[in-house]
């Protein structure tokens, strides 16, 4: 058992190292091949596109580690932001209260997913697919299919944008990426939670062998639900970061964000079979995706080529995971 655990840790370490090298190689390649890529504004663009995907990926890492999946995170992200923006624009609620509402909604959506999977016994794929449809429709219903614009400039409530990009006199035009600091700090906290706390170890155990974990006296329902609650919370936080960076949100969107997040998780070394994964690896995978998305136009390719390339990378990453599991027996 100890040897098997050691083998798992070794495989995730190797995959993480490969991901880091891939990230460095990609960045150097775009700096050499891309015109004007090596600029501060480009670096900020990479970070801007990393925030919401990064938060989504951190949350869904916990679900995937349990052996589950959460397809609703993209639409939960957008739905929560739409409702919060509507409350600010139409009901006149303070931005701080709207942000709290957004986070609470994300937790509730996550809890609903968790209960459907752990209590009702629904397959995670079906439960979260249903929630994806519900939240996509709910966002359109609440906003009456109208886009929602968040405050900007010196208008009331625009202060929340400084959480992710601090701008002001005497600072670079592109701003200071304070969101990067928040993303890294939360990644460190969640990494400690996953690896050093009892709930985190229970979540890892669920992915390794759910029935054995249940028989050992662990409350499987409680900790499996918690994984989905964490996913919902980070999806809502992703919604706030998306609103801060892009300002205008369209109803009915959000589909596809979960695919970028899940791809980042898998590229970072988390196994889709559950039981193995790391938050740090997820963050590396997300930055690989963001560098690809930002760098491709600099070499004359449109961002949709990212989907084409990411598909191949994802297949290779999953194959490597399957191969390692077969090798370990």
pLDDT digits (tens, 9 = 90+) for 184-230: 999 999 999 999 999 999 999 999 889 999 999 999 999 999 999 99
pLDDT class of 20 with cuts at 50, 70, 90? confident
The per-residue pLDDT for 154 is: 77
pLDDT digits (tens, 9 = 90+) for 30-72: 988 877 888 888 888 888 888 889 999 999 999 999 999 999 9
The per-residue pLDDT for 22 is: 86
Residue 12 has pLDDT above 70, yes or no: no
Q: Which residue has the higher pLDDT, 91 or 14?
A: 91
Per the CB < 8 A criterion, the answer to whether 231 and 63 are in contact is yes
Q: Where are the beta strands (DSSP E) in 242-294?
A: 248-249
Mean pLDDT (the chain) is 87
The per-residue pLDDT for 296 is: 85
Residue 174 has pLDDT above 60, yes or no: no
The per-residue pLDDT for 157 is: 82
Q: Which residue has the higher pLDDT, 97 or 315?
A: 97
Residue 18's CB: how many other CB atoms inside 10 A? 16
Q: 178 burial class (0-12, 13-18, 19+ CB within 10 angstroms)? A: middle
**Cα–Cα–Cα angle for 193, 77, 111, rounded to 5 degrees:** 55
- For residue 110, the number of C-alpha atoms closer than 13 Å in the C-beta half-sphere is 31
Lowest mean pLDDT among 6-10, 154-158, 273-277, 290-294: 6-10
The per-residue pLDDT for 168 is: 56
The per-residue pLDDT for 130 is: 97
pTM over 0.75: yes
pLDDT digits (tens, 9 = 90+) for 120-138: 999 999 999 999 999 999 9
The per-residue pLDDT for 170 is: 54
Proportion of the chain above pLDDT 70, given as a percent: 92
Q: 35 burial class (0-12, 13-18, 19+ CB within 10 angstroms)? A: exposed
Lowest mean pLDDT among 139-153, 168-182, 231-245: 168-182
The per-residue pLDDT for 2 is: 44
* Nearest to 7, CA basis, from 275, 316, 191: 275
Q: Which domains does the chain have, with CATH numbers?
A: 2-328 (1.10.3470)
**Which of 193-202, 250-259, 284-293 ranks highest by mean pLDDT?**
193-202
């Amino acid at each position: 058992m100890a040897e098997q655990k050691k083998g798992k840790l070794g495989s995730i370490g190797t995959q993480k190292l490969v991901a880091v090298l891939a990230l460095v190689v990609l960045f150097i390649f775009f700096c050499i091949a891309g015109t004007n890529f090596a600029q501060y504004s480009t670096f900020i663009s990479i970070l801007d596109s990393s925030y919401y995907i990064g938060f989504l990926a951190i949350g869904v890492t916990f679900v995937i580690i349990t052996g589950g999946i959460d397809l609703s995170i993209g639409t939960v992200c957008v739905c929560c932001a739409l409702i919060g923006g509507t409350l600010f624009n139409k009901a006149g609620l303070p931005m701080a209260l709207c942000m709290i509402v957004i986070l609470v909604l994300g937790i509730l959506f996550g809890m609903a997913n968790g209960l459907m999977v752990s209590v009702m016994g629904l397959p995670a794929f079906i439960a979260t697919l249903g929630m994806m449809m519900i939240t996509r429709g709910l966002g359109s219903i609440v906003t009456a299919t109208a886009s929602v614009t968040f405050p900007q400039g010196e208008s009331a409530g625009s202060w929340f944008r400084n959480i992710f990009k601090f701008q002001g006199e005497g600072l670079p035009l592109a701003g200071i990426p304070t969101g990067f600091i928040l993303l890294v700090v939360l990644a460190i906290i969640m990494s400690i939670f996953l690896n050093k706390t009892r709930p985190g170890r229970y979540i890892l155990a669920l992915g390794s062998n759910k029935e054995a974990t249940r028989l050992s006296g662990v409350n499987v329902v409680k900790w499996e639900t918690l994984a989905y609650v964490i996913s919902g919370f980070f999806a809502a936080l992703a919604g706030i970061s998306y609103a801060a960076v892009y300002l205008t949100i369209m109803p009915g969107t959000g589909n596809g964000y979960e695919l970028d997040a899940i791809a980042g998780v898998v590229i970072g070394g988390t196994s889709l079979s559950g039981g193995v994964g790391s938050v740090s690896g997820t963050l590396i995978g997300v930055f690989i995706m963001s560098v690809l998305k930002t760098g491709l136009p600099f070499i004359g390719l449109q961002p949709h080529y990212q989907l084409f390339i990411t598909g191949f990378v994802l297949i290779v990453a999953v194959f490597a995971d399957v191969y390692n599991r077969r090798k370990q027996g």
